[in-house]
Homo-oligomer: A and B are copies of this chain.
Amino acid sequence: MQNNSLLKEMGIGLKAMENLLSQYIESNSPLLTEASLHLFQAGGKRIRPAFALLSGRCCGVDSNSMLPLAAALELIHMASLVHDDVVDNSFTRRGISTVKAQWGNKVSLHTGDYLLAKSLLLISQYEQPQVAKIIADVSVEMCEGEIQQIATAHDPGQTIKDYFYRINRKTAMLISASCRLGAVVSNAPAVLERALARYGHYLGMAFQIVDDILDLTAEQKELGKPVGSDFRQGIITLPTIYALRHSQKTGVLESIVRNKSKTEEEIQLAISLIKDSGAIEYSFTVASRFINKAKKQLQHIPLTEHQEALASLADFVQNRRF
């Protein structure tokens, strides 16, 4: 990836976005500043801002004009994380303690609301009313995805279609919006806007599938959170859905999935049943299919250099192991 000058430039843009963000989340309330910075400094892949900066460049916008939007997208993502931690009772994320673990539910909830409000403030800088509208639409869908996740928890009967519905809302829509907004801000032609939106959608789907695979296969120290943490909470992801149909012990797996207070032993047994069923290989294949669909959209991107950079990001999404 290092050979592409555009990706290097994007790295510089991301640093600038991080600088902006770390200053921007300072609040009059020391507690809000501290909690927000704690979350921010825990790191993250910053893929939403990366996509926004890159898509902006593909459409001829300079990075500076995209910075507030890139920061806003990261803030929306951060807000969703801190709110998830409230309701999921998560105590570690990205290897360090969560805001909830350190400051409790009340502070976490208001920190999430604060980050959302700050993102709105950044978004209100843009002239195009489409910018706020796209982000609002995605935010609505993200909530619907979260609620769907609650409604389908511990349910072994859910289908791959249910899963796709959920991860589209939970992840792909915001990544798609990140890609699309570069085109919107630059008033790019509709065909370019559509191609970037679709590229982002397919990549976002692949990103979440890989995330769900890694949740079962990575090491705790790479994940920064306990292995199988989704499974523990009853969130049924693609590998589990596959294994529930193809494992040699579907009955055992199904009863563990249904059980709302699984023991550690049951969780470990379930994870090995899932791995033995071929579910991991299957899920990687599905992710690859989405990556290929994403890459096909790149034919609508005018410059080869831009195409290559976006293809590199797609490869990164497919091959990441953390």
A: residues with CB less than 8 A from B are: 27-29, 31-32, 83, 86-87, 105-107, 109-114, 116-118, 120-121, 123-127, 129, 132-133, 135-137, 139-140, 142-144, 146-148, 150-151
The listed residue with most B CB atoms (<10 A of its CB), out of A107, A110, A123, A129, is: A110
Min Cβ gap A165→B in Å is 10
Residue of B at shortest CB range from A116? Answer: B116
| Chain B residues whose C-beta falls within 8 Å of the C-beta of A83 in the assembled complex | 109-110, 113
Are B144 and A32 within 8 A (Cβ)?
yes
Q: How many copies does the complex hold?
A: 2
Expressed in whole angstroms, the Cα–Cα distance for A280 and B100 within the complex equals 38
Point out the residue from B106, B117, B124 that lies within 8 Å of A129, measured CB to CB. B124
CB contacts (< 8 Å) of A148 on chain B: these are 29
Q: Give 14 new A-B contacts, CB below 8 A, not counting A31-B151, A113-B142.
A: A29-B147, A31-B150, A32-B143, A106-B150, A107-B150, A110-B143, A113-B146, A114-B147, A117-B136, A118-B140, A120-B135, A120-B136, A121-B136, A121-B140
A124: contacting residue among B105, B127, B136, B150, CB under 8 A: B136
Q: In the bound complex, do residue A28 and residue B124 qualify as a contact, i.e. CB atoms below 8 Å apart?
A: no
Contact between chains at A31 and B147 (CB < 8 Å): yes
Which residues of chain B are near A114, meaning CB under 8 Å? 140, 143-144, 147
